[in-house]
Each structure stands twice: as C-alpha cells, then as structure tokens.
A and B are shown apart, each in its own frame.
Chain A
Amino acid sequence: MHHLEIRNLSSAYGSTEVLRDVSLTADKGEVVSLIGPSGSGKSTLLRVLIGLTPPTKGEIIVAGDQIDYHSRKELKALRNRMSIVFQQYNLFQNMTVLRNVTIAPIKTKNRPRVEAEHEALALLEKVGMADKKDAYPEELSGGQQQRVAIARALATNPEILLLDEVTSALDPERVNEVLDTIRALTHEGITMLIVSHEMAFVREVSTRTAMMDDGRIVECGTPVEIFDSPTEARTREFVSKILKH
C-alpha cells in the first residue's frame, strides 16, 4: 500500500483547469520531487493535497483512507497527518518564533503548553533557530524565517510534509541553510513532496522525480532517469534548458 496515492486528480481556478488527470504515488519515507516550468501546476497540486484549493475530480488516498475534501472532519484529520511549508514562509507576524511553532499543537491538538514548548525548542534546535525563539518573524532574514516555518510544520508531527518552492523567495546566499535543513529531514522517515527549482538538490535527495507541464505529469522516474535519460521530449527540453546554466 502506498503512503500517499493520487488518482486522476483535476483542479481548476474558475474555468481554467490547472491540474489535469494527475496520478502519483509516494511510499512511506519517500522523497518525491516535482519539477517543471512555472504555472505547470506543481504548487497547485500541493495546495489541493493540504485542502487549500478544492479538487474537481479524482481521488487522494492517504495510508489507505480516501480523503473527502468537502468534509471538514476528514480535512481536519488529514491536516493532522500532513503539513506544508510555503514559498513565502507565512509565519504569523504577530507571534514570536516560539509561539509560531507551539500554537498549532496547543490550540488544535490540545497539547499541554509545557510539553509543546519543550518539543518546539528541540525542533528549533534542529533547524538552528533556538537562539531566536523570542524574536518576531519580521526581525529575521528570509532563510531564518523559512527554517522556523519548517519547525512549525514539523511541530504537529506530520507523516507527510509538503514543501512548496521553499527557497524561491530567498537570497541566493540563504538558500543553502534551508536546503541543509531539509536534507537532514529526508532521513527521518517522513514522506515528502518537494516542489523546487534547485535541480542539484532535487537530484540529490529525491527517490523519485515527476516532471509536470500544463497541469499534467509528463514523466515520472528516478532522478537519474529524469535528468540523464528522459524519455519525453518536453522533459528533455526542460532539463537541458535548466542544466545549461
């Protein structure tokens, strides 16, 4: 049984179809990356998975349970097992770093504050942000904010972690600190879906890579297959354009 299974998923903004018949699977602990040009539907796929954009068709199955995205109860249960890290970090500006990390466990999982803070500090330690626990997001650099956002996403103990272009909004010199943080997580058994334009990183950490274009998955395989010997013309074109630089 796959940990995450997406079957013939479609989604639309108004009358514009942004996902067309997407099927993809991820086994427990796998790191599946999504590559492709802007507007190809990669981020939308993650948004549909976490329930921010409604699907129009298809099935999403997590650990054998099909998720009904119109049921508030099921969506809530799903978000207890799945977290997302956004491109723009989306940290709560009115809360300190520590509060950002503890608020979901305390308020949505009813964890005791002391316990939640204890775990949050351990997570902040892991992403190298423990010394900034009392800072507000606006006092931090983009890279630091993104590391806090990763700690926040992990605070609810997700089985599945979605990473949506987490380094795209960062200064080039801040990219590596975030990639190092994610790299360290790939060995912890969390199933990950990574949308990224960092091809070298994708190639290094992924167990499988899916190439998306125009709302469809064009090709899916191991990073070696996708980057070295793609079978589809569209993948070849995209990969060669990116790797030339």
Chain B
Amino acid sequence: MFDQITEQLPLFFSYHNLVFILQAAGRTLSMTIIGCSVGFFFGFIIAVIRQSSSRPLLIFRLLSIVYVETFRRIPFLVILFIVLFVIEPLMPGTSLFGIATVSVCLLSTAFLSEVIRSGLESVPAQQIEGARALNFSALQTLVMVVLPQSWKVIIPPAAAFIVMFIKDTSLASQLGVIELTFAGKMLVNRGFSSVLGFGVVLICYFALSYPLSRFAAYLERRLASS
C-alpha cells in the first residue's frame, strides 16, 4: 500500500488536482460561512421574536416556533432533497451549490435561533427590570443590557455548531455538489489510493475546523474576562 502511495504522490499533487481540492474545500467553506452567517442573522431575529411578549408579533412567534421545531427535527439530507425538489421546478437552472447553501441556511437558522434564545434567556430577569424601570426602550434593553451579557453563553455552543456544520456539509455530496468529500471520492474513482484521497480530505476538514475552534476559544476567554 505504501509503495502505491509513494508512487502516486507526485501525480496526486499535480497542479490540477490541487486546484480541484482547493476549489472543493472552498465550496465546503462557503456553504458553511454563508449558511451560518445567514443562520445567525435570521436566528437572531427569530430568537428576539420568540422572546417578545408583544401582541402584534404573536403570529410571527407561532410561525417561528413551528419553523424551528420542524427544521430541527428533519435530517439534513432530507432538507437537501426537499429544497432540491421545491427549487428545481420553481427556478430551473439553480446550481446544486446554491441549493445546498439554501439548505444549510434553513437548518442553521433553526439551530442557531435556539442557541441565541438560550443565551438571551440566560440574562436574569432583574437586569431587564432594572432597564425598564430606568425607561430603556425594548431595543435599548436588548442592545445595551441583554446582548452584551448573553454573548458568552451564545459563543461556545454556536462555535460547536458551526464546526459540526463544516462536517455536515459533506452530505451535499449526495446531491452532486463537488465539495471536499465528493472531490475525494472523485479522485479515488480516478484510480488514486483511497488512503491518499480521503487522507487529504481529512486533513482539509481538520484545517478548516481547527482554526475556528481556536478562534471560538479565544472569543470565549476574552468575553469571559470583560
């Protein structure tokens, strides 16, 4: 086996293969970053809506609950196929990468909204009452009192979720998106050693997720000390 690997090494790390792998890693990373950024944005809005006691928002609160509880319970692979079969006829020509990214957004919004909600709820009610008694508006209370105190509760599980998501995007290979896992499979199909092909894929996943974990740990430390 090792003979085979040493023999294939120069061929494997050809310019074309490297570009191919990097592009695939780029797709994995883009799906995660776009998906989780959008997830953070809408997750935040959903978390705030679910927390509010405002009557006009009641209908949105119900919709949010239904959305979050549904999408947290569907496997990612199933979401991928649902999005594929809904978008395909509506917008023919949408790229598989686009479809996979939308799926990531849908799922991460549901999960991150729960992470953010538990962070917002971790702030003691007394803090909010103190703000209300001092005439803070709901927005001022959220921005100046609740959010600064909930970051340290939100960051660790959110980072864990994003790291997990880098891995879960591999399911998009089932749709035919050429991300890291699919790229590995294609290289192995071209005759390269599977240890070599998937070994490089493994290293790429590690290289993507490790810095993120370190960054999250750094944020956590900084937020905890302030």
Output the least CB separation between A113 and chain B (Å). 15
In the bound complex, do residue A93 and residue B127 qualify as a contact, i.e. CB atoms below 8 Å apart?
yes
For B226, the chain A residues whose CB sits under 8 A away are 94
Interface residues of A in 151-172 (CB under 8 A from B): 152, 156
A80 in contact (CB, < 8 A)? yes
Residue of B nearest to A108 (CB): B135
Residue of A nearest to B137 (CB): A108
Output the least CB separation between A176 and chain B (Å). 24
In the bound complex, do residue B133 and residue A50 qualify as a contact, i.e. CB atoms below 8 Å apart?
yes
A90-B135 contact in complex given A103-B144, A107-B140, A107-B144, C-beta closer than 8 Å: no
A69 in contact (CB, < 8 A)? no
A83 to B226, CA, bound (A): 28
Size class of the B contact interface (CB-based, 8 Å): 10 to 19
B131 in contact (CB, < 8 A)? yes
A76 to B140, CA, bound (A): 14
In the bound complex, do residue A92 and residue B135 qualify as a contact, i.e. CB atoms below 8 Å apart?
no
In the bound complex, do residue B129 and residue A108 qualify as a contact, i.e. CB atoms below 8 Å apart?
no
Output the least CB separation between B10 and chain A (Å). 57
For A84, the chain B residues whose CB sits under 8 A away are 133
For B133, the chain A residues whose CB sits under 8 A away are 50-52, 79, 83-84, 86
Most buried by A among B126, B134, B148: B134
- Grouping DSSP codes into helix (H, G, I), strand (E, B) and loop, the B interface class, with mixed when no group exceeds half, is helix
Residue of B nearest to A88 (CB): B126
Partner of B130, one of A80, A92, A156: A92
A90-B126 contact in complex given A103-B144, A107-B144, C-beta closer than 8 Å: yes
Q: Give the size of the chain A interface in residues (CB under 8 angstroms).
A: 21
In the bound complex, do residue B130 and residue A86 qualify as a contact, i.e. CB atoms below 8 Å apart?
yes
B136 in contact (CB, < 8 A)? yes
A83 to B132, CA, bound (A): 11
Partner of A104, one of B126, B134, B148: B134
B145 in contact (CB, < 8 A)? yes
A98 in contact (CB, < 8 A)? no
B113 in contact (CB, < 8 A)? no
A103 to B141, CA, bound (A): 11
B101 in contact (CB, < 8 A)? no
B149 in contact (CB, < 8 A)? yes
Partner of B149, one of A83, A86, A94, A152: A94
A91 in contact (CB, < 8 A)? yes
For A86, the chain B residues whose CB sits under 8 A away are 126, 129-130, 133
Cβ contacts B127-171/A at 8 Å (1 or 0 each): 101111111100010001100110000000000000000000000
Output the least CB separation between B1 and chain A (Å). 57
Output the least CB separation between A214 and chain B (Å). 25
A interface, CB within 8 angstroms of B: 50-52, 76, 79-80, 83-84, 86, 88, 90-94, 103-104, 107-108, 152, 156
13 further contact pairs, Cβ within 8 A, besides A92-B145, A108-B134: A51-B132, A52-B129, A52-B132, A52-B133, A79-B135, A84-B133, A86-B130, A92-B131, A94-B226, A104-B134, A104-B135, A104-B136, A108-B140
Closest A-B pairs by Cβ, 8 of them: A90-B130, A94-B148, A104-B134, A108-B135, A90-B126, A79-B135, A84-B133, A50-B133
